[in-house]
Structure 1
Amino acid sequence: MIFKIKQPRKIFIFSILGLGLAVGAYYGWFFLRDYQTLRQVQADQKKIAAYRQKTQAMPTDPQAFLNLGNAYMTFWESSGKGIRIASQLQQQSLAWGWLFSKPEMLSEAVLAYNKALQLDPTLVDAHYGLCFALVEQGESAKAIAPCRKAAEQQPTKAKSHLWLGLALTYERQWNEAEASFRKTLELEPKNDDAYYLLGNVLLASGKTNEAVAAYRQSIELDPNANLTYLRLGDAFTVQKKPEEAIAAYKKSIQVVPNYHLPYEGLGWILAEQNRLDEASAAYRKAIELYPSYTDAYQGLGQVLVKQNKLDEAVATYRKGIEWKSKKKDKNGDIYYLLGIALMKQKKLPEAIAAFKQALKLNPNDADARQSLQQAEKQLASTQGKKQR
């Protein structure tokens, strides 16, 4: 029987969709700048209290609520870097304080921008701020309307088109998203983020050659953007250009060595090339960096099956399933793969249970259904022989 090999990570779009540029390491001469950053985050936090007081003093002033929304978003952006630096500098009270207050910032910003627009529906900066906050909150469907409004009212502001494109991307509206990113680049031809996001949309649309060109443009503008190398590797994987994909993933790792996704992509393409020891090492590194990343367990398990290390493969799949249950992940592929490994071990009842769980999660998985039927047939045949 030929078993279907399943690629763990969906190459296309949603695993790393944010603007996120690579974060570099900090060295000794950066310490002064680090402390300045911490002071800036503290100042940003204090501004929130000041603007809150202004909204209480002027409850009908839309500008006051706009300023409050902007203050929330400024702190939300700066506190992410502040938390990391405070942790590195052993200033745990600062780090924990910001960590606990950060999640509230987006919802508070949304409330402030909505209040500003309630008082003045024409306040274009409030539409833009609301667009930004909703996209970052993961409410992309709700974000599209204010993003469109901001882009219509500020047609020459590149960021308005960029955020509209991002909201449309999350909603899988590829053609409109592409148009928005191209408009961004028309206004800002050297915007590396726009090229990166355009590449993501083109890759998701199946326009792989154009995606590669967009990623190359982004890299030319920012040679240290690890996510762009990662996506370039994904595009080469789709194009079945393994050596180019391997080089791109390795470059992503070179730029930011402690990010798990390029190791997972590298593991997949190495396994496809039958370079199993290297693939295993790549997957293990991904797991070391991000122990709850279940796709890496899925990929490693497939490599171990190819190496006929079935006990270790089953243990790997079960560990991945343990993490999946904690995260309430409803993708059933790993159960299908567990079933395949168990069939190879002649553990048919356990394999049948795994295939049934795969079908419970993915009722349309034809491979799991076919494998279930074969496992049940083999079990019935085995039991029949025992009864004779």
Structure 2
Amino acid sequence: MNNHIKNSLHINKIGRLITMVKINNLLAKAIVCWCLSIAIPAFGKEISTVLATVKNSPQAIVPQNKKAMANFEQGANLYKQGDLKGAEAAFRKAIQLEPKFVEAYVALGNTLDDGGKPQEAIAQYQKAISIDPKFAKAHFFLGNALYVQGKFPEAITEYKQAISVDPKHAEAHYYLGNAFYAQGKPAEAVAEYTTAIRLNPKNAASYNALGNVLYAEGKLEEAIAQYQQAISVDSQDGDAHYNLASAFYAQGKLDEAIADYTQAIRLDPKHAQAYTGLANAMDDRGKPQEAIAHYKKAISILPDYAYAYYNLAITLGREQQTQEAIVNFKKARELFQAEENNEMVEQIDRLIEKLKGSGE
């Protein structure tokens, strides 16, 4: 995602003009990062659907496997309660009692994935697929696990398999869109998000993702319409308010941007990017002290947020708080260097030299 460049700011001190460009890390949850940050649909969130699948599946459970079913349901309840260790044991027992219980393999995979064991989870999804190659959910969750590891071509293959079995699988279309975008294929991503919306018009994440692609293409009005649609579906979606605010900010609509950044923060008080966006807008409003406070709040939430330090340094420099500006530039430089963002490192070096010179 390209960073949106904020308007140039100037420090005029002792006859020296320093031009510094403030960066708004717009949509800091860029398509890939943003998609990774949302919860992958997990077993516990659709337990009733999975149980219904089990009870209606001709291959899953036969009458003499009531103990397997009981262990499966116990695992599901433990999972919902957050007892991953207990859930894992119960699902393993269900599989031991019924080795072809594909739903139990998927449930075990989700439990292991949530427990920080992605490779073990992948093995369980693959086992389910080996038993039933047409079990769409196994392909879907395997795709999610591969996606999180950055294995986008493999994830795409699994999402397509899920869709070939279940063409109305809205979530598979949505995540396929994410994987396409991660590969630099926005047109394909738009097609998948559009399909996901058609199949499930009540999923705010799809509108959000579509809006992000449109935003990246410079289609701000179209992006705004999608963000607003996401909010109409889920008014409590903090990311949608943040994205909408960022689009308004890009249009120079500061009042609207401030309102939606503020709403994003109300919904998610730990939304560091929203504090930075709000700070940028406040700075443009001629309220640098409020901006400084918001940058510092973003940093307190996300101590490794390089752009927050950078923007804070810009504002401090313009307010002639030279030493504090240099301290924050150096912290931003350190973080950018760790990210191997050489362009920003070089820019900061130039700005520090100019600030030092301005104080002579």
Q: TM-score range by the shorter chain?
A: 0.7 to 0.9
Shift in Å, 1:316 = 0.6
1:376 equivalenced with 2:352 (yes/no): yes
Q: Aligned in 2, Cα 1:376/1:128: closer, same or farther, shift over 3 Å?
A: closer
Letter in 1 for 2:122: I
- With a CA cutoff of 8 Å and minimum separation of 6, indicate the structure with the bigger relative contact order: 2
SS of residue in 2 equivalent to 1:362: helix
Equivalent residue number for residue 36 of structure 2? 14
Q: 1:295 to 1:141 in 2, by over 3 A?
A: farther
Matched, 1:232 2:210: yes
Corresponding pairs, count: 318
Once residues 362 and 68 of structure 1 are traced to their aligned partners in structure 2, the CA distance between those partners, rounded to angstroms, is 50
- Tell me the alpha carbon deviations over residues 65-120 of structure 1, each in whole angstroms, 9 at most, x when there is no partner: 7742542224534xxxxxxxxxxxxxxxxxxxxxxxx222x222223334566788
Say whether residues 1:275 and 2:253 are aligned partners.
yes
Looking at structure 2, the residues matched to 215 and 380 of structure 1 have their Cα atoms a distance apart, in angstroms, of 49
Task: Give the direction of change, closer, same or farther, for the CA distance of 1:134–1:76 in structure 2 (3 Å limit).
Answer: same
Q: Which runs of 4+ in 1 moved over 6 A?
A: 118-122
Query: 1:54 — aligned with what?
Result: none
Alpha-carbon distance, 1:375 to partner: 4.3
Task: Write 1 or 2 for the structure with the bigger share of strand.
Answer: 2
- The answer as to 2:311 corresponding to 1:292 is no
Task: Identify which range, 356-365 or 294-303, moves more after superposition.
Answer: 356-365
The aligned residue for residue 172 of structure 1 is 150
Residue type of the alignment partner of 1:103: G
Q: Separation in 2 of the partners of 1:368 and 1:210? A: 31
Partner SS, residue 103 of structure 1? coil
Conservation of the 8 A alpha-carbon contact between 1:355 and 1:369 = no
Relative to its length, the structure with more helix (as a share) is 1
Mapped contact 2:78–2:86 kept (Cα < 8 A): no
Does structure 1 residue 162 correspond to structure 2 residue 140? yes
CA contact (8 A) 2:24 2:307 kept: no
2:150 counterpart of 1:147: no
2:186 is aligned with 1:208: yes
Query: What amino acid does structure 1 have at the position aligned with 2:149?
Result: E
3-state SS of the aligned residue for 2:82? Answer: helix
Alpha-carbon contact 1:110-1:134 (below 8 Å) kept: yes
Structure 1 139/359 Cα, relative in aligned 2: closer, same or farther at 3 Å? farther
Aligned-residue offset at 1:64: 4.7
C-alpha displacement of 1:177: 0.9
Which letter does structure 1 place at the counterpart of 2:79? W
- The code of the aligned residue for 1:373 comes to D
- Alignment correspondent of 2:12: none
Give the root-mean-square deviation of aligned CA atoms. 2.8
The reply on whether 1:345 has 2:345 as its aligned counterpart is: no
Distance (Å, rounded) in 1 between the aligned partners of 2:279 and 2:194: 33
Q: Which runs of 5+ in 1 are unaligned?
A: 24-39, 45-60, 78-101
- 2:300 maps to 1:322: yes
CA distance in 1, matches of 2:133, 2:20: 55
> Equivalents in 2 of 1:255, 1:14: separation in Å?
21
For 1:73, the equivalent position in structure 2 comes to: 76
Q: CA deviation at 1:380?
A: 3.5
Q: Cα distance, 1:211 vs. partner?
A: 1.0
Measure the CA separation in 2 of the matches of 1:62 and 1:341: 67
Of 193, 197, 202, the residue aligned with 2:171 is 193
8 Å contact from structure 1 (residues 332, 361) kept in 2: yes
Instruction: Judge which range, 119-128 or 351-360, deviates more.
Output: 119-128
Aligned match of 2:60:
none
Classify 1:305/1:201 alpha carbon distance in 2 versus 1 (closer, same or farther; 3 Å): same
- Of residues 148-157 and 4-13 in structure 1, the stretch that sits farther from structure 2 once superposed is 4-13
- Residue 383 to residue 231, structure 1, CA distance change in 2 (3 Å): closer
Contact 1:253 1:262 in 2 (8 A): yes
Pair 1:313 & 2:291 matched: yes
Please state how far the C-alpha of 1:360 moved relative to its aligned partner: 3.1
- Which residue, out of 229, 237, 249, partners 1:251? 229
Shift of 1:155: 0.6
Deviations 1:126-170 (A, max 9, x none): 432221222344543331111112122211111111111111111
8 Å contact kept, 1:131–1:147: yes
Deviation digits for residues 260-283 of structure 1 (CA, Å, limit 9, x no counterpart): 000111111111122222111111
Q: Distance in 2 between matches of 1:152 and 1:119?
A: 18
Task: Give me the whole-angstrom Cα distance separating, in 2, the residues matched to 1:237 and 1:140.
Answer: 32
Give the SS at the match of 1:215. Answer: helix
The C-alpha deviation readout for 1:272-295, integer Å capped at 9, x for no partner, is: 122222111111110111111111
Structure-2 residue corresponding to 1:103: 82
Cα separation, 1, equivalents of 2:248 and 2:261: 10
Give, in angstroms, the shift of residue 249 of structure 1.
Answer: 0.2
